[in-house]
Every structure is written in C-alpha cells, then in structure tokens.
Amino acid sequence: MDTLMYDGSFEGLLTAIFEVYEYKLSDAAIVKQEEGGGRLFGKLQTVQTDPSKAARVHKKLIQHCNQATATKFYKTFLSELPGIENQLLQYVQYVLSKANGGENNYSHPAVLTVHQVSRKVDREKHRMEAFVRFQLTGDDLYYSIIQPDYNVLPLISKHFRERYADQRWLIYDARRAYGIYYDLQEVAAVEINFGADLQDKNLLATIHNEKEELYQQLWKQYFSSVNIAARKNMKLHIQHMPKRYWRNLVEKLPGNDVISGKKKNL
C-alpha cells in the first residue's frame, strides 16, 4: 500500500487525491503527517501542498457533480474524524467513475458517510451560530470561547461577519487553539497561545470591560423573566441545547439556576 502524508490542510488533502490519480496508485491511503510516521509497511510519500493541483480536483468535483457536492465534501473534511481522508478519497473515486448521479447513491459506503457526516457538521455550524455568546473586553473587543465537536470556524465566519459588521470580535476555538478575528474590514484566522486557563474568572475579570458584569446580569435576568417554570421540559431543552455547550453560555453560568434546570434557593 502507498501511504500519502499531507499537512492536514484542505488543499493538502486535495493535492494528495490529485497525486493518487497522477501516479495511478491503485492501493493508496492518505494520512496526516503526524499520523504517518508509525507505519512500518508499504511506501511512504510526503505530499507537498500544491494550490494548482488542489484547485483542479475541486473544479473537477464541481463540474462532474455540482457545487453542493463540493460543499458536502468540504464539510466532511472539517469533521476531522479519524480516517475521514480515505473515506473522502473513496468518495471522489466513486463519484468521478460514474457518468452522473453517483453522489446520490447512498448504498455506497463512502457516499453514505459523506452524506451523514456533512449533515452532522452542518448541524454543529448552526448550533455555534446560535450559541456563541460574546463578552466585551476593556479595549472594546467582543470575544467568545467555544469548543465545537467539529472544526466549524471556517463555516461560521460569514454569518458573524454579516451580523456583527460594526464591531470588532474574536471567536476562539479552545479545542483547536485558533480563532477567527474581525477587524471591521475582514475576517482572518489567528493563532493565539494562551498560557492560562481560559475559564479563570480572575483572569477574565482583568480584561473585561467595566460594564461587562452588568451586561451579563441583564442577560441572565432576561432569560429568567421569559422562563415559564410550569412549562419547563428539561429533556426537550437538552435536546435542543446539549449540556456540552453550557460552559460557554452566559445564561448557564452560576446565578441563573432557573435556566439550568435547578431549583432556586429563595
């Protein structure tokens, strides 16, 4: 088996797929560079990311299928699931081998995987667009810390760019140690090395705007006021807002126990 090691980028993956065709590799596997070093058998080949090769694969996928197919392909890549590169390679090989309609044949394992995984990533995208809560720093930067299951920052940047076009903001993915920053002109990916606990209240208090605590209290009071205890359905609530998101939601922080589903001490 020929193993192609790529740099982990989307362009790198597309370049690796191009080289599978270029070198007519009949039995190939694609892995990230940090995962390929432990392989003892087969040939190892390092892929040098080539934007022109990547663009040709992307263009071919759109021409042979459609833009929606290319978008599903990209969302599946952003899932970062183990071994997803080879599912995507098999997906491309299958759909390009068919005259038309191969991308809709869910009886093929790779097609079904891309369909299911892309929907999960899309669902996570919409949840992040709904659950991001900004806090204001002393230098008027709105920031939010999130920990999504999938790498959805590239998918949500357009939404926040359009919705918050008049303010500087940063959305930081603590799980992947990078963020997207909007400077009132454009959105750019940024890498930030935080040496302290991102949830350290004492640390956050030193950078918050002096009115931030008031804003949070008002936000919590709003949620408490619209909450109707008699209609509380925690099972349905958790279904729409899973607990793994609660740690980054202002209305779920201590002090708003009605929303958290706990009894308030009177």
The pLDDT score that the predictor gives to residue 208 is: 47
pLDDT of residue 196: 52
Q: What is the mean pLDDT of each run of 10 residues along the chain (266 residues)?
A: 95 98 95 74 88 98 96 98 97 95 95 98 94 82 89 97 94 91 94 61 48 48 52 56 58 46 35
Separation between Cα atoms, residue 96 and residue 85, nearest integer Å: 17
- pLDDT at residue number 35: 81
Determine if the pTM surpasses 0.95. Answer: no
Q: Which helix (H) or strand (E) holds 128?
A: helix 109-131
Locate the domains of the chain by residue range: 2-124, 132-202, 211-266
**Cα-to-chain-centroid distance, residue 95:** 25
Candidates 113, 41, 24; CA nearest to 73 is: 113
Gap between the Cα atoms of 252 and 230, Å rounded: 19
